[in-house]
Amino acid sequence: MDKATFKIWRGHAGDGAFETFETDVWHGMVVLDAVRAIQAEQAPDLGVRWNCKAGKCGSCSAEVNGMPRLMCMTRVREMGMDKPITIEPLHTFPHVRDLVTDVSWNFDVKKRIKPFTPAPRDADGSWTMAQSDVVRPQEFRKCIECFLCQDVCHVLRDHRRYDDFVGPRYLVHLAQLEMHPLDTGDRLDELRTEHGVGYCNITKCCTKVCPEGITITDNAIIPLKERVVDRAYDPLRKLVQIVTKKPARS
Amino acid sequence: MASYERRSFDVLVIGAGGAGLRACIEAAAAGVTVGLITKTLLGKAHTVMAEGGIAAALANVDERDSWKVHFADTMRGGQYLNNWRMAELHAQQSPDRVRELEAWGALMDRTDRGKILQRNFGGHAYPRLAHVGDRTGLELIRTLQDHGVHQGIEVFNEYTVTRLLKDGGRVSGCFAYDRNKGSFIVFEAKALILATGGVGRAYRITSNSWECTGDGHSLAYEAGADLIDMEFIQFHPTGMVWPPSAEGILVTEGVRGEGGVLRNSEGRRFMFDDIPPLYRDQTADTEEEGWRYVIGDRDARRPPELLTRDHVARCILREVREGRGSPHGGAFLDISWIREKIPSSEEHIRRKLPSMYHQFMQLANVDITKEPMEVGPTTHYVMGGVRVDADTQMSTVEGLFAAGEVAAGLHGANRLGGNSLSDLLVFGKLAGEHAADFAKRRGTVSLDEGEIDLAAREALAPLDRRGEGVGGEGPYQVQFALQDLLQEKVGIVRDAERVTAALHEIQGLKARASGVAVNGSREYNPGWHTALDLKHMLVIGEAAARAALTRTESRGAHTRDDHPGKDPEWGKKNVVVRRSSTGEMEVDTIPCPVIPEHLQQIIREQG
Ligand SMILES: Cc1cc2nc3c(=O)[nH]c(=O)nc-3n(C[C@H](O)[C@H](O)[C@H](O)COP(=O)(O)OP(=O)(O)OC[C@H]3O[C@@H](n4cnc5c(N)ncnc54)[C@H](O)[C@@H]3O)c2cc1C
Ligand code: SF4
Ligand code: SF4
Ligand code: FES
């Protein structure tokens, strides 16, 4: 059987070093399989977070050969086996242990975003929405909250703007709310201020790493930026929007 | 004595899947304090994996549907071992529960008239499953999560409950540990809701998440509650079989709902070869009729691929055993053939089944729009669980409620696809409501320090043993041995000899489990966690084996090679497993609740 070498970051709360492991590689093996095999045979206390092992829950995010990826959807062979494969925890969040980071900041951010507020129901107690009107927000609702986009965004990763910028994941969430056919909430002022949409300079790194293939920058962030700008420069429209509570679709 | 933090709530919910979240929302609305404990992160519970849809008789696609038809379908699917009252409540209330999701922001696929679209699924007479492509579970959990976080619920992420605590006969709280810090915490609660999901990880081949280790089943058992129907474990007919790394990962029944067909190595649609009498009138005679059903011809009957899961799984197993399987021991599931029927079939498949497309491309290099998939049975769902009162969801232990997969009764001997997500919503809500009511009506509880101390010692034992040099075996080895054992001996097809052998081996594994030692520190230590899971998985294994040995017939998901037919006597009884006063597992039977005449009438009318 083929073998592969892994260099896995081990340690506590930021202190640590790479440790090298070798393990058998079987057909179709993904990086998470390798980590679990190492856990079972060599390092039972190797800290790693995972749950579904099917790319659905967004738990197993890590940096594999320097790229933010889901370990359960990354084939070992795809990473090239001639050199050791490195696995590190996400860099953007506080380190807990080995491959595990503390992503709780993300949950706090979501709580600060104004929740969904629906329009009144139809007479029959339900709502009517055309498929064509739900397609775009449905794209955003594919998000599995893996936080890979948050990890790669330089505003958070390098500039540490945790207090001023919600990050691509939550711009996607905000776009979903803003483009939801039933929502009556208005979040454009906060988008400009506390959510910090202006910090994004459209490098598109987030879109590149999204395992759900969400077109984060083009479909979510740019339209949000446009709405914010429209609001700022069009006082009449702003007035209309305040009266109707919902931004006119551009 | 070990140090621990202490917290107190009116209602404490263990589990943040669909059932737990729905229960929290309801309890919070009743004005009590609510705590939510989950051993994974919020939004990542197993529910997130659900694909095909939520069953509810909204009648948006076929107006002939109604709660009565849904009720009758559920009872037939469960071979009448279901708790009729749960099946009735479920069928009646699920439409409102689904519409309510829209009030909280869910965006399900739409009909041409702009209403919630519904799709066909096995055992459902009409298109009934509300869905979003093949990621319905994500939509459900995210909707409940995003709504729930604004309801004043306190969430404990990555805390694992290892024991329930009692005040006399009543549940008073639980003992848990914080995975990130490795520290202990004791929760006091006037009412406690178990919403811990399933048991699939006790088997080697499973579609279930890491967290599905049967904790709630075992915690309830340990606290003295009755478990019923533990012999009924659903093996979903279509899991991936190749490559080994993907073994067990689910292939949604939605593939068959959209026209996917099963073939053996000879190219034959073998599902036409064996149609159970209970379903003969509802099943298509020809391939042509089956296709008409798929595209919505209301006079056509269902293709046999959409028969119930237990039956489809056995048919695949039969083909494999008789040498007509696929190269890696499964059958072929083909959706690409619909190109003969619809022009832009590739795009259609990618739109209807996006995550299946992605899953096979990424994990198996198979393009499902062009070639068949290889599929075989995978451990998927446990019908058995905590015995509850149908109206309140309270277990046989006072103050202890259960909802979702950990509770039993709704599904009887076999669950219909889509009936779990609706189960979570309907009974999650009822559990939240009645637990809040119980908490308001009943006084405070007191905690027993002795019990807490015992729980702390039990939790620390695997770490304490690391220095002793005794046992010394790692937890994973025992876990793998148990998974292999259940897979081989308490799997799809059982007989007395193998199940008895399994029970014997489980005793040996118990001994090994009690000697397991783990190294490393207490912070985020998966070895330690696995060592603590073993207790639960062993209870699941033993309960499944004892119940399977007791039911000397084949019905629904329980197939006995040595008792192949259905036995009418067994059609009137549920098997109960409970902890005796001496701590042994005892098995009992109870009569199924008698179906009242007006509901029997509905069952007869629905043929
Ligand atoms: C791949 C797949 C697809 C499916 N598709 C469908 C479908 O289309 N339609 C359908 O109706 N059903 C489907 N099902 C079944 C359905 O998803 C599950 O039955 C359902 O989600 C279970 O939900 P739950 O709320 O009961 O528990 P879960 O979602 O399993 O949640 C359990 C919760 O309990 C927590 N927990 C467990 N033990 C402990 C402990 N000791 N301490 C603290 N917390 C604990 C977990 O962390 C988690 O938060 C599918 C299942 C699978 C595997
Ligand atoms: S496009 Fe914007 S949000 Fe995305 S990574 Fe770049 S700066 Fe961050
Ligand atoms: S937007 Fe994509 S990358 Fe970002 S959290 Fe969601 S799924 Fe992950
Ligand atoms: S474990 Fe769920 S996405 Fe990888």
pLDDT of residue A81: 86
Strand bridging mode B407-408 / B385-387 = parallel
Q: How confident is the model at residue B264 (pLDDT cuts 50, 70, 90)?
A: very high
Best residue in A52, A131, A143 to probe B by mutation, most B CBs within 10 Å? A52
Residue-averaged pLDDT of chain B: 95
Q: Where are the domains of chain B?
A: 238-377
Q: What is the pLDDT of residues B189-205, one digit of tens each?
A: 999 999 999 999 999 99
CB-based contact A38:A6 (threshold 8 Å): yes
B261 torsion bin: left (phi>0), alpha (psi -120 to 50), beta (else): beta
Contacts 24+ apart (CB under 8 A), A18-24: A18/A86, A19/A43, A20/A84
Q: How confident is the model at residue A242 (pLDDT cuts 50, 70, 90)?
A: low
**A185 to chain B: nearest residue by CA?**
B105
According to DSSP, residue B252 is labeled: -
- Give the residue-averaged pLDDT of A175-181: 97
**B146 to chain A: nearest residue by CA?**
A115
- Rounded distance between C-alpha atoms, residue B445 and residue B189, angstroms: 7
- Give the residue-averaged pLDDT of B462-476: 77
Ligand 2 centroid to A173 CA: how many Å? 14
pLDDT of residue A238: 57
pLDDT of residue A233: 77
Q: What is the pLDDT of residues B133-162, one digit of tens each?
A: 889 999 999 999 999 999 999 999 999 999
Ligand 2 centroid to A149 CA: how many Å? 8
Cβ partners under 8 Å of residue B564, min gap 6? B554
Is a pLDDT exceeding 90 seen at residue A187?
Answer: yes
Chain B CB contacts of A52 under 8 Å are: 44, 46, 48-49, 209-210
Q: What is the pLDDT of residues A4-29, one digit of tens each?
A: 999 999 999 889 999 999 999 998 99
pLDDT of residue A204: 97
Q: Where are the domains of chain A?
A: 2-101, 104-244
The reply to whether ligand 1 has any atom less than 6 angstroms from the CB of B424 is: yes
Chain B CB contacts of A103 under 8 Å are: 41
What is the reported pTM? 0.95
- Cα angle B113, B118, B122; round to 5: 160
Distance of residue A233 Cα from the nearest chain B Cα, in angstroms: 30
Name the CATH superfamily for A104-244.
Alpha-helical ferredoxin (1.10.1060.10)
Is a pLDDT exceeding 70 seen at residue B211?
Answer: yes
For ligand 2, atom 8, name the residue with the nearest CA: A153
Q: Which of B249, B254, B265 is nearest to B360 (CA)?
A: B249
- Give the residue-averaged pLDDT of B393-422: 97
DSSP string, B558-585: BEETTB-S--TTGGGEEEEEEE-TTS-E
- pLDDT: is B122 or B373 the higher one? B373
Q: How confident is the model at residue B256 (pLDDT cuts 50, 70, 90)?
A: very high
pLDDT of residue A241: 57
Q: Does the CA dihedral B123-B128-B134-B138 come out positive or negative? A: negative
**Residues of B noted as catalytic:** 236, 256
Strand bridging mode B493-494 / B559-560 = parallel
pLDDT of residue A243: 56
Phi, psi of B237, rounded to the nearest 5 degrees: -65, -30
- Rounded distance between C-alpha atoms, residue B212 and residue A84, angstroms: 33
Chain A, window 94-123: residues with a beta carbon less than 8 angstroms from a chain B beta carbon: 96-98, 100, 102-104, 107, 110-111, 115-116, 118, 121
pLDDT of residue B469: 53
Which position has the token pair 């118990």? Answer: B510
pLDDT of residue B1: 56
Strand bridging mode B400-402 / B184-194 = parallel
Q: What is the pLDDT of residues A55-93, one digit of tens each?
A: 999 999 999 999 999 999 999 999 988 999 999 999 999
Output the CATH code of domain A2-101: 3.10.20.30
Q: Is domain B238-377 in CATH 3.40.50.300, yes or no?
A: no
- Give the residue-averaged pLDDT of A215-232: 94
> At B331, is the secondary structure helix, strand, or coil?
strand
pLDDT of residue A80: 87
Q: What percent of chain B has pLDDT over 70?
A: 99
Chain B CB contacts of A44 under 8 Å are: 474-476, 518-520, 526-527, 530
**B246 to chain A: nearest residue by CA?**
A28
pLDDT of residue A250: 37
Segment (H or E) for A166: none
Mutate to test the pocket of ligand 2, among A195, A203, A210, A222 (most ligand atoms within 8 A of CB): A203
Q: Is residue B346 exposed (0-12), middle (13-18) or buried (19+ Cβ within 10 Å)?
A: middle
Distance of residue B120 Cα from the nearest chain A Cα, in angstroms: 19
Best residue in B42, B107, B142 to probe A by mutation, most A CBs within 10 Å? B107
Distance of residue B37 Cα from the nearest chain A Cα, in angstroms: 15
